[in-house]
Amino acid sequence: MGLVALCLVAGCAGRPTPTPTPEPTPTSPPPSPVPRLLPTATPQPLSPVPSAKMPGVVVPAGAKLVTFTPAAEDGAAQAEYFIADLDADDARDWFRKHMVEAGWTQPEELDGALLFAHRTELSAQSARQGYRRSALLLFESQADGVSVVINAESGD
C-alpha cells in the first residue's frame, strides 16, 4: 500500500495533483486621473480692468456700463458707469491712481471732475497741433454708489 499511497500523493496516474487556488481578494480598481479645474480668478470689484468701450481707459471690474455713445469722427466717446458701494470721493481717488498706472498723467481737478492727458497718445482731433489725447471724468454720488461719466478722445 505504500506504493499506491505514494502514487496517489505524487500523482503517478499522469495527472497533476490539483493545487488549491486561493480565493480572490477584493481589490479596488486603480484610481483614474480626474482632471482638476483650477479656480478661476474672479476679479475683485475694485480691480482695474480695461474698458470694453474706450481703449486705454480703465474702470473698476465691478463697474456696470449704463450708457455708451461712440466717438464721432475725430471726437470723444462717452460712457457712463455705475459703481456700487463707492462714493464720489473714493471713486476719484481710485481713478487718480489707476488711470496714471494705465498711461495717463496726473489729473487736473476741475470742480470735482478729473481731466487726464495721455502720456504718449496724441488726440485724433488735434494730433496736427501735437495735443495729447484727453479724458474728462465727472462724478455724481448716488444713494447706493457713484455714477462716473467718462468723455475720452479717440487716439491718433
Read off the CATH number of the domain in which 96 is found.
Answer: 3.30.310
The answer to whether the CB of 65 falls within 8 A of the CB of 53 is: yes
pLDDT confidence of residue 72: 81
Q: Which triple of cell numbers denotes residue 114?
A: 478729473
Structure confidence at residue 123 (pLDDT): 81
Instruction: Decide if 24 is inside a domain.
Output: no
Query: Is 145 contained in some domain?
Result: yes
C-alpha cell at 28: 479596488
Mark out the alpha helices in the chain (DSSP H runs): 2-10, 88-101
The CA distance from 7 to 9, in Å, is: 5
Domain for residue 26, yes or no?
no
pTM: 0.70
Structural domains of the chain, count = 1
- Domain with 61, as residue range(s), is 48-153
Does residue 116 lie in a domain region? yes
- 44-91 confidence digits (pLDDT tens): 889 999 999 999 999 999 999 999 999 887 678 999 999 999 999 999
Domain membership of residue 38 (yes or no) is: no
So what's the pLDDT on residue 4?
47
**Distance in angstroms (rounded) separating the CA atoms of residues 125 and 138:** 21
